[in-house]
Amino acid sequence: MRQFGDGEDIKGHKFERIVGLVAPFSLLGYEGKSSFNPLVKGSGGTSCDYCGTYIINVYWIQDANGKKFKVGSECVRHLGDTKLVTIVEGEKKKQERIKREIKKQAKREAQNKEFEDALIILANYPHPHPYFASQKKTLADYYRFTRNAPKAIAEAKEKRAQEGTINRITKT
Ligand SMILES: [Zn+2]
């Protein structure tokens, strides 16, 4: 069992905030803090109880005696508990996966919005197939059917650019 003494030097920081921690440790939970924003109350990170460094990814740990403290993912390694490191690494991967998923979702939503805007422009153009065009179907109907959002967005941009050119020509 490893004991942590007062004044132990970690990465140039004096380890004195938490003393007498006893292994093994357990992960109580992860707390994701947001970056500091003066407009958002309660935003910003906190400090690692182990080294005092500013952290936004906070891991709440409990030692064998039930003492609770918070550290960054780097300082988890300094506790010398390999089992805990594995657990924290797993949690870190899970959090990264969640963050990626949120980003992907935001991107999907942005694209959906762009797709809807593109359909408004494409509704002014006839369907690419003569039969559907004769049925008064539009290019928007075509893309609503294919659901090819990137292509619809690109085509709408192209149409808008062409319209711009035509407008300029007719003006002069
Ligand atoms: Zn630390």
The mean of the pLDDT values for the chain is: 87
What tokens does 136 get?
Answer: 């008064």
Rounded to the nearest angstrom, the distance between the alpha carbon of 99 and the centre of ligand 1 is: 22
Residue with tokens 């936004």: 56
Judge whether residue 1 has pLDDT over 50: no
Element at 163 (helix H, strand E): helix 149-171
Residue ranges near ligand 1 (ion) with Cβ within 5 Å: 48, 50-51, 53, 72, 75
Backbone angles phi, psi at 117, to 5 degrees: -65, -40
DSSP state of 65: T
Backbone angles phi, psi at 104, to 5 degrees: -60, -45
Q: What is the pLDDT of residues 51-95, one digit of tens each?
A: 899 999 999 999 999 999 999 999 999 888 999 999 999 999 999
How far from 69 is each of 15, 72, 75, 138, 150, CA to CA, in Å? 13, 11, 12, 63, 48
Q: What is the pLDDT of residues 4-43, one digit of tens each?
A: 444 444 444 444 457 788 889 999 999 999 888 888 888 8
Cβ atoms of 84 and 61 within 8 Å: the answer is yes
Rounded to the nearest angstrom, the distance between the alpha carbon of 37 and the centre of ligand 1 is: 22
66: left (phi over 0), alpha (psi -120 to 50) or beta: left
